[in-house]
Amino acid sequence: MRVHSVEKIKEMKELRRHGYSINELVEKLSIPKTTIWHHVHSIHILPKYLPLLKAKRGGSALRKQNNLKKAKEYAEELLSGPNRELAISIAMLYWAEGSKKACEFINSDGTMIRFYLKILRNIFKIPNENIKPTMRIFTGMNKKQCWNYWSQITGIPKKEFIIRFNDGGLKGKTKYGMCRITVRKGSNMLKLMYALIERILEERKNF
């Protein structure tokens, strides 16, 4: 069954020929990026629009470089200020248990999740609406009990949780499953985590 109309696909391709970037197409047509790419990756941009598209790409690269610079500056500020120990703590936690592709931290230890969230909220001022919790449970676990536990640990209502069920042999290793904390639109937060890690390692290179 076709998900998007022929007319919409045609519009998508025509806009691409006229120099629209992938992100612009996503925003304009409300279609997932992977779907956009599937339909337009082989489309040839009309020559007169190529400079426009290249300028957009250059602007995106420049924004990335600026954000990296800001992350490094903020990391320096944190490590020189009163919250240095907390900044080191969250950086080391993230280095051990965090994702490299998105600002996501996962663990089965409720105390660790609570500590991680406390720093996110109090030091980095991440609001609750930008924190997305996911509970991962396994065969033999009491869903309601686990749900209540992680809601209490995180201070986030149960209705806000995404629940994943993975059949596997972890019943004896963890009582309440695992909790993943994702920061929505967290690309800059991810840059900051790795800027902190990099700076801390530089400080200790002769340790």
Q: Tell me the per-residue pLDDT of 77-125, one tens digit each, with 9 for 90 and over.
A: 999 999 999 999 999 999 999 999 889 999 999 999 999 999 999 999 9
Q: Look at residue 156 and tell me whether its pLDDT is greater than 60.
A: yes
pLDDT recorded at residue 1: 42
Share of the chain above pLDDT 70, in %: 92
Whether residue 72 contacts residue 192, with contact meaning beta carbons closer than 8 Å, is answered with no
Alpha carbon distance 96, 197 (integer Å): 11
Mean pLDDT of the chain: 89
pLDDT recorded at residue 168: 63
Of the candidates 166, 180, 107, 162, the one whose C-alpha atom is nearest the C-alpha of residue 137 is 166
Strand bridging mode 162-165 / 178-183: unpaired
Alpha carbon distance 74, 83 (integer Å): 12
pLDDT per residue over 115-150, tens digit each? 999 999 999 999 999 999 999 998 888 999 999 999
**CA atoms within 13 Å, Cβ hemisphere of 122:** 11
Cα angle value 121/127/130 (rounded, 5°): 115
pLDDT recorded at residue 158: 95
Tokens 């936690």, residue? Answer: 93
Tokens 């080191």, residue? Answer: 88
**Average pLDDT of the segment spanning 167-182:** 79
Q: Show the 3-state SS of the chain.
A: CCCCCHHHHHHHHHHHHCCCCHHHHHHHHCCCHHHHHHHHCCCCCCHHHHHHHHHHHHHHHHHHHHHHHHHHHHHHHHHCCCCHHHHHHHHHHHHHHECCCCCEEEECCHHHHHHHHHHHHHCCCCCHHHEEEEEEECCCCCHHHHHHHHHHHHCCCHHHCEEEECCCCCCCCCCCCEEEEEECCCHHHHHHHHHHHHHHHHHCCCC
Alpha carbon distance 57, 52 (integer Å): 9
- Return the exposure string of 165-180: e unless at least 16 CB atoms fall within 10 Å of the residue's CB, then b: eeeeebeeebebbbbb
